[in-house]
Structure 1
Amino acid sequence: MAEIVEVRIPDIGDFDAVEVVEVLVEPGQRVAKDQSLITLESDKASMEVPSTHAGTVEELKVKVGDQVGQGAVILTLAVDEAAATEAAEAGGAEAAPEAGATETAPPPAAPPAAETPAAGDGVYASPGVRRLARELEVDLDRIQGSGRKGRITKEDLLAYVKTAMRGGGALPEMPVIDFSRFGPVEEKRLSRVRRVSAQNLHRSWLHVPHVTQHDEADVTELEAFRKAHAEEARKRGFKLTPVAFQLKAVAAALKAFPEVNASLHPSGERLILKRYVHVGVAVDTDDGLVVPVIRDVDRKGIFQLAEELGETSQRMRDGQRRPDDFQGASFTISSLGGIGGTSFTPIVNAPEVAILGVSRAVMRPVWSDGAFVPRLMLPLSLSYDHRVIDGATAARFIVHLSALLGDLRRLLL
C-alpha cells in the first residue's frame, strides 16, 4: 500500500524566498530518489531540488513564478510502503530539520555558469538544461532563452535542436580572431542589459524586413510653446521636454493609423490591432539602453506625460527597474535629439511593427511665401515591418505625425 509523503524545500541558505523558475515533473509521473523536481533561482545562483523518495507524483503544490522558502511543500508523493520504511530506517534524517536539509539540498551558492564553462559566461540555464546541452553537444550561447531574465528552458533547447536538424539554424559563423596579435587589447564584460538587448535586436533584425522612412517636422511653434511653459513645469517639479510632445503626437497618429499600433499574429495570417496606446521610450543608462513603457499615452495630458517620463527615466538610471516597466509597448520612440545626428535607422522592437527615431532639431532656412525664413526642423525616421506596413502607409503616417508636431492645435481635432 502506498504512503503519501510531502516533499519540502530543504535548507537553501540565507534566502527567505526564492523563485521557482522550472517545474520538472507533473502529476502521475514516476520519479526516482534524488531526481530533480524543481529549479529555484536567486539573483546569484540557481539550484535544483531533488526528491527525497522514489514514488509517483500525486499533486504539485508549487508553480513557476512562486516564491518559496525552506520547509515549503513542493509536492505530495505516493511512496511504496516498503520504500518509505527503508527511507525512514536510513537514519530518520527526514524528521530532523538540520540533518534532512543537509542530505537533500545541493550546494546553495553554486553559480549556474560554473557548472558548464563551455556554455559561456552569463548564460541563464538550470543545471538540468546544462547537462542535456552537454549530452546533445549544444552551445547554450547560441540559444535565445524565453524564460525570465532570458533563461534558457528545456523547450528552448529542444526547439533549437529541431531547427538545426531541419537546417534552419545554419547561419555562417563569424571567424574567431586573436586581436592581441596586432597590438595591446583589453576585454570588457558587457552588462546584462547590453547582452539581452543584443539578443533581442539580433532576433528582430533577422525576422523583421526593415524599411525606414524619413521626414522632417517644423517644430518652431512647438518649441516656442514648450519654452513658454517650461517654468510652470519646473515649479511643479519636473522638466517639460520635447519627448512629452512627441509622445502625445505619436498617440494621435497611432489612433489615425491603427495598423501601425498592431502586431503580426504568429501564424502570419492575421493582424492583432491594439486598442490601447502604450509607448516605449528609449532611456540611456550606464548599463546601456533600456526601454520603459509609458502607458495610456492617449489618455494623458502633456504635463502628466512629462512628469511620468521624468520620474520613469530617473528610476531607470538609478537601477530601480521592475519587470512590468518593460512590458506591453505597442510602439517605441528612440530620441537622440539630446546627443545629435541628422538621421538614423532604428531597429523595430518586435513584436511591435514600427519605431520612431528622433534626431536633433536644427534651425535652417525654409522657403515660404516667396522668401527664406528661419525654421526649427526636427528629423524623424520611421522604421517599420514591411510585412504589415507598406511604403504608402508609412509615408502617410510620418507626414501626419509631422503635421501634428508642426501645429499642436491638430491634437484637438
Structure 2
Amino acid sequence: MQVKTPDIGVDKATVAEILVKVGDQISENDSLILLESDKASVEVPSTVSGVVKSILVHQGDEVTEGTALIELESGSDAQTEDKAPVKSEEEAAKPASSETEAKPVTQPSTSVSSGATSVIEVQVPDIGVEKATVAELLVKVGDEISENDSLILLESDKASVEVPSPVSGIIESVVVKEGDIVKEGVLLLKVKTQGGSEQATPANENTAVQPVETATTAVEDETDTQETVSSGEQEISVPDLGVDKATVSEILVQVGDRVEAQQSLCVVESDKASVEVPSNIAGVVKAIHVSVGQEVKQGIALATIEGEAKAAPKAKSQPAAQTASVKTQSAAKPAEQAKAPVADSVNKLSQEQEADNAKVYAGPAVRKLARELGVILAQVKASGEHGRLMKEDIYAHVKQRMTAPAPTASATVAAVASGLPALPDFSAFGGGEVKTMTRLQQVSVPQLSLNNFIPQVTQFDLADITELEAWRGELKDGFKKQGVSLTILAFIAKAVAHLLKEEPYFAGHLADDQKSVLLRNEIHMGIAVATPDGLTVPVLRNPDQKSIKQIAIELGELSQKARDKKLSPKDLQGANFTITSLGSIGGTAFTPLVNWPQVAILGISPATMQPVWNGKDFDPRLMLPLSLSYDHRVINGADAARFTNKLTKLLKDIRTLLI
C-alpha cells in the first residue's frame, strides 16, 4: 500500500527529512517522513504495520495533499504470502483476532462480524521531541470520526503536530486534557469501532485487507469490483451558524443532481447575512427536506445524499493504466466543477485570498471546518497561542458575520465600514500605493468599529501628583536593584482598582436587553501596550488584591510579553475596565475609545509642571491630565465627574488608600 501526503493545512510542503529506509520494519503510527512549510513541521505517520518497500520522494522535494510518499508491504500481505492459499473460515479467524489483541492500533480485521465492536487505544506517536504539551482537544466523547481525522493538537517549543485517528469510529473516552505534558507512547484517547460492511468486505480469502484508497493502486488477480462503490445515504444537516435560527433563501440543487464534496446545497439567511451550506460528501441528491422561506436551525436535515467512493479499478488492470485513469479523473474534476451551477467554496477565492490563506497559522482540522462553512481564514481573528487559528475562532467569525450590523456576506470589510462608500479614484491626482496593515491592526478593525454604536462622552480632569512622584523617586532605585521598574502607572492602577470597588458601575457591562447592568464580582484591568505591530491590551488580574510592587512586576511582565508576541489568549480576555497611557509621547488630553463590552476607559497624558494658586500665590505643581471616556447609557455625567474627582484626591495623597 502507499502512504500519501495528508491534509497538512497548506498548499505545499517540503520533504525535510526521510525517517525510514527501504527494508525497515515499522509499526502503525511510526513516523515516516518529516514535512515542513513556512508555518510548522509535520511528521507523516504510517497507517499500518509493515516493511518499507520503496521510498517515492527525495529530501527537498515539494509535495501536495495526495502525493505518494512511501510504499509499504503490510504485515497482512506478508502473512498471506507465507501461508497456504486456501484456509477454512475458522483457521483464518484465529490469527486475525490475536493480532487485534496484540496491537493497540490496527486495521480492522476481515473476521469482525457485523455487530462486533472493539476499542482502539490512540497513543502519542513519535513526534520528534522528547515531550510536548496538549494544546487543543479537537474532539470530545461521543464524536463520530473518520480515519485520519485530527484528534489532538500537540505543541512543543519548536512545532505543532495534529495526531490523526488510525480508524473510523466513536470517541469513547479522552484520557488527557489541555495543558498536559505527554511523550511518545502515552495514551491519549480511546476510539470504539463498529464492525460491519465498512470493515469486512473482501471478495477472496487470500486477498489482503487494505483501505479503499490502497485498492485503487494495487494489482489484483481476481476481482469483480464495480466501477463505482456506493457508500450509502447520508443526511446533510444545518451546521452551527452562530444564530438561533435562519431562513432558507435559495436551494441550489435538485433531486437527482450529482454534487461534489464541499459543493453548496442551499443558502440560509439571518436578518444580517447569508451563508451557503455545503455537502460534506460527493454523491447524488436523493431528497431535499426543506423549502425556500422555511426557518431552520442547527441540526435540521437539509438534504439526503447517496455518497459514492472513488472509482475502483476493473479486473486485472495494470498499475500504469490505473495511474493514468486516476490522473484523467483528477484532471477532469476542475472542468466538471466549472460547469456546475454552484462552485466549490474554495474555488470562489481569488488568487490573492488563497495566498493569504496559505500564510494563516491553522491546522488541517481548522482548515477543513473553514472550507465546510465557506470561511476565508485570512479574515478570521486568531485567539490561539502564537496567532494560531482555533475552531472556536471559525465559529465566532461565522456568528459575527451572521449578526454583523451591515447586511453583506461578500466582504467583511464592507460590514466593518458601516455603510461608507468605496474610495474615489485618485489616479487623476497622482495616484497612491496600497499598503497592507499589520495583522494586529486588521483584527482590531471590527472591534474598534463597535464604538460607532456607543454614545460616548469624555470627562477631563487634572490630578496633582507632586508628592506621589517624589515618593516614587525615593522608591525607584530600591526597586531597580530588585529588577523591578516602578512606574507611575502602578500607583494609578492601584488607585483605580480601589475606586472601582466603590463605583462598581464603571466596571460593569450593559446587558443584552439594555434594561439592566451586569456588575462583575472581580476587577480585571486592561492595560494598553504599544508594540511595533500596533496597540494590544493584556489584562492585569485582580489589582485590588495586590500590592503596588506586585502590580509593577506584573505590568513589566505583560508589557514584555506583548512586545515579544508571547501573550496567550487568556492574557487578553476578561477585562472590565481599561487604562491607556500616552506616557511621555506628548499631548495634553485625548478621548480614548470605550472598548466594548466595557463601559469606561481612563486615558493618561504626560504630566507637566503647572502654576497652581494656593490662595496666596502660585506654586509649581506636577499635574497629570486624566481623560475618562464612558458609555452614557450606563454612566451619568455627574457620576463620571465624581469618579475623576475621587481619583485626583487618591493620587494627590496615596495614603488615602490605607484609610
Summarize the alignment of residues 110-125 of structure 1 with structure 2, pairs less than 5 Å apart: 117=354, 120=357, 123=360, 125=362
C-alpha distance in 2, partners of 1:268/1:294? Answer: 28
May I ask how many residue pairs the two structures share in their alignment?
388
C-alpha distance in 2, partners of 1:406/1:318? Answer: 35
SS at the partner of 2:590?
coil
Summarize the alignment of residues 5-16 of structure 1 with structure 2, pairs less than 5 Å apart: 5-7=120-122, 16=131
Cα deviation, 1:78-129, whole Å, max 9, x if unaligned, reads: 221564456994359xxxxxxxxxxxxxxxxxxxxx9971764654555455
C-alpha distance in 1, partners of 2:626/2:526? Answer: 16
Contact kept, 8 Å, 1:23 with 1:63, in 2: the verdict is no
Contact kept, 8 Å, 2:384 with 2:569, in 1: the verdict is no
C-alpha distance in 1, partners of 2:533/2:130? Answer: 26
C-alpha distance in 2, partners of 1:142/1:199? Answer: 11
Equivalent position to 2:523, from 277, 288, 311: 277
Q: What's 1:107 paired with? A: none
Summarize the alignment of residues 12-161 of structure 1 with structure 2, pairs less than 5 Å apart: 16-17=131-132, 19=134, 21=136, 23=138, 27=142, 30-34=144-148, 36-38=149-151, 40=153, 51-61=165-175, 72-80=187-195, 83-85=198-200, 89-90=208-209, 117=354, 120=357, 123=360, 125-127=362-364, 130-131=367-368, 133-134=370-371, 137-144=374-381, 149=387, 151=389, 153=391, 154-160=394-400
- Change in Cα spacing, 1:79 to 1:204, as seen in structure 2 (3 Å) is same
> Is 1:382 aligned with 2:628?
yes
Relative contact order higher in (CA < 8 Å, ≥ 6 apart): 1
Report the alpha carbon displacement of residue 131 of structure 1 after superposing the two structures with TM.
4.9
> Is 1:295 aligned with 2:414?
no
Matched letter for residue 543 of structure 2: V
C-alpha distance in 2, partners of 1:340/1:211? Answer: 22
Which of the pair is proportionally richer in helix?
1
Contact kept, 8 Å, 2:154 with 2:163, in 1: the verdict is no
Cα deviation, 1:200-246, whole Å, max 9, x if unaligned, reads: 74265255443222111122232233334434444554343221221
SS at the partner of 1:246?
helix
Segments of structure 2 that go 5 or more residues without pairing to the other structure are 1-115, 212-350, 410-414
C-alpha distance in 1, partners of 2:557/2:374? Answer: 47
- Change in Cα spacing, 1:150 to 1:32, as seen in structure 2 (3 Å) is closer
> Is 1:344 aligned with 2:590?
yes
**Bigger shift: residues 392-401 or 141-150:** 141-150
> Is 1:4 aligned with 2:119?
yes
Cα deviation, 1:326-384, whole Å, max 9, x if unaligned, reads: 44433222111321111122223333332211001112233331544333221111122
Contact kept, 8 Å, 1:4 with 1:79, in 2: the verdict is no
- Change in Cα spacing, 1:214 to 1:56, as seen in structure 2 (3 Å) is same
Q: What's 1:252 paired with? A: 498
SS at the partner of 1:215?
strand
Please provide the CA RMSD for this pair.
Answer: 4.3
Contact kept, 8 Å, 1:59 with 1:77, in 2: the verdict is no
Q: What's 1:329 paired with? A: 575
C-alpha distance in 2, partners of 1:161/1:268? Answer: 22
> Is 1:172 aligned with 2:419?
yes
C-alpha distance in 2, partners of 1:318/1:312? Answer: 10
- Change in Cα spacing, 1:220 to 1:55, as seen in structure 2 (3 Å) is closer
Report the alpha carbon displacement of residue 174 of structure 1 after superposing the two structures with TM.
6.6
> Is 1:214 aligned with 2:488?
no
TM-score, normalised via structure 2 length: 0.49
Cα deviation, 1:126-159, whole Å, max 9, x if unaligned, reads: 5455456556654444444566647353533542
Summarize the alignment of residues 255-266 of structure 1 with structure 2, pairs less than 5 Å apart: 255-266=501-512
- Change in Cα spacing, 1:267 to 1:210, as seen in structure 2 (3 Å) is same
